[in-house]
Structure 1
Amino acid sequence: MTGIHEPVLPYWVSLWLFVSGMVCTYDVAYTMNRPFTNDPASPRANLLFGGWALYSSVDRHYLTTNDIFTCSTGRVMLLECLLNFLAIGLAAARNRHGLLLAFTSNIMVLWKTILFFSVFLAQPEGHLPPMNPNKFVWSKFMIFWIPNGVWIIMPTLVLFALWNKLALPPKLSEKYWEASNKCRGDLTFEDQKKVALD
């Protein structure tokens, strides 16, 4: 079979996986290397992590040097980043597992972010509020809610976009498994005619 094939992942999904992986890698570098990365006296820290310094002025978890919550989520994010980059590579090689890995990675990102948000809602009495109470509502909205909201909205859009690609119709699924011994794991079958999805 020759010609142009439809990409395994939509281009915007691959772009999201890459951007998310890069931002989260940078985020992990910040949280795992505190106190060096959040030292206000360090010109290097201010240059490399200025955005995170602004963010930590609202989110106390990022301000606290030995915060266990951000260290834990950082470790989880390392796995997410690895899965994102692996999904991009597999999709570029037209391997069918790239689709499943992208879907799985985005479920992980979505649920981790929901867990992260839940820490900021209805804190038990006696605990310090995780958000700086001295910041104005507008600052909290722009610095905290909007950037973190992206990691709820984008994975959700990816899940919707990939759902139909994963949920194959039974007729197509049967044809796939019949031909599965004739392919190398990608989405192209050399001797399989196009199957109608009626």
Structure 2
Amino acid sequence: MAVKTHTWISLWFLVTAPVIAWDVGYCFMRPRSMVGGDLHWIWKPYEIYQEIDYVYGVKALESGDGFTNAQSLLNVVETFMNLAYLYLAHVSGWSPAPLIGFAAAVMTLSKTVLYWAQEYYCGGCAIGHNTISDLVLYWIIPNGLWIVIPTLIVIRLGQDISDNLVAADRIAAKAASGKQQ
């Protein structure tokens, strides 16, 4: 039985891989990736972002805040899972592949919700200094994508997995009733 795939999910997993790799590189290479660092040219747009979100900025780095790199490490795990899903679903045709994609999307969603919850519970400690327009443009919209799209992926792949389990249960029940006759 062929693996049911969805182009939009596969594109999300494929397109986000280099974006995440770039972000992970910035986080793991701090302070060299930051303004004034010899590698900053690679991450020039972070010049703005490290001022918008202090988790990415000098303050977090100097205080030894480990959250930035901890979430980056999880980004690496998620991305490997996303790429594994792509390979297993599209190349090898492994029927449980949607479970890998589902788990990866749950990781992304959970980590991003944690990131937002941290800001809520600390009173906006890393982003509260922004104007509302900067906050919406540079933090809420870009980070919101990492909640909305993984949520949609969890729903879609969850439904596909559920449908497959129901179908397998029906087949098993039919086979069991056939043996009883």
TM-score range normalised by the length of the shorter chain:
0.7 to 0.9
Cα deviation, 1:67-98, whole Å, max 9, x if unaligned, reads 31101111111100110111000011221122
Secondary structure class of the residue paired with 1:130: coil
Structure 1 segment 80-91 matched on structure 2, within 5 A: 80-91=78-89
What's the counterpart of residue 51 of structure 1?
Answer: 45
Does 2:27 match 1:31?
A: yes
Provide the secondary structure at the position in 1 that maps to 2:87: helix
Give the direction of change, closer, same or farther, for the CA distance of 1:170–1:54 in structure 2 (3 Å limit). Answer: closer
- Say whether residues 1:40 and 2:36 are aligned partners: yes
Specify every segment of 5 or more residues in structure 2 that has no aligned partner in the other structure, as ranges: 174-181
Take 2:76 and 2:165, find their aligned partners in 1: how far apart are those partners?
Answer: 36
Question: Alpha carbons of 1:176 and 1:37: their partners in 2 closer, same or farther (altered >3 Å)?
Answer: farther
The 8 Å contact of residues 21 and 80 in structure 1, kept in 2 or not, is answered as no
Aligned with 1:150 (options 134, 142, 145) = 145
Structure 1 residue ranges (4+ consecutive) displaced by more than 4 angstroms after TM superposition: 175-178
* Pair 19,175 (structure 1): closer, same or farther in 2 beyond 3 Å: same
Change over 3 Å in CA distance of 1:80–1:177 after alignment to 2 = farther
Among 63, 67, 71, the residue aligned to 2:69: 71
- How many residues are aligned here? 168
* Corresponding residue SS for 2:93: coil
Q: TM-score, normalised by structure 2?
A: 0.83
**After superposition, what is the alpha-carbon deviation per residue over 1:148-197, rounded to whole angstroms, capped at 9, x for unaligned?**
0000000011112112210136662046669xxxxxxxxxxxxxxxxxxx
Give the TM-score normalised by the residue count of structure 1: 0.76
One of 131, 136, 145 as aligned partner of 2:131: 136
Paired residue type of 1:153: V
RMSD: 2.3
Partner secondary structure for residue 168 of structure 1:
helix
Distance 1:39 1:169, change over 3 A: closer
Name the structure with the higher helix share.
Answer: 2
Name the residue aligned to 1:110.
109
Corresponding residue number in structure 1 for 2:176: none
1:96-118 C-alpha deviation (Å, 9 max, x unpaired): 12211001100010000000111
Tell me how far apart the structure 1 counterparts of residues 107 and 51 of structure 2 sit (CA, whole Å): 27
Q: CA deviation at 1:41?
A: 5.6
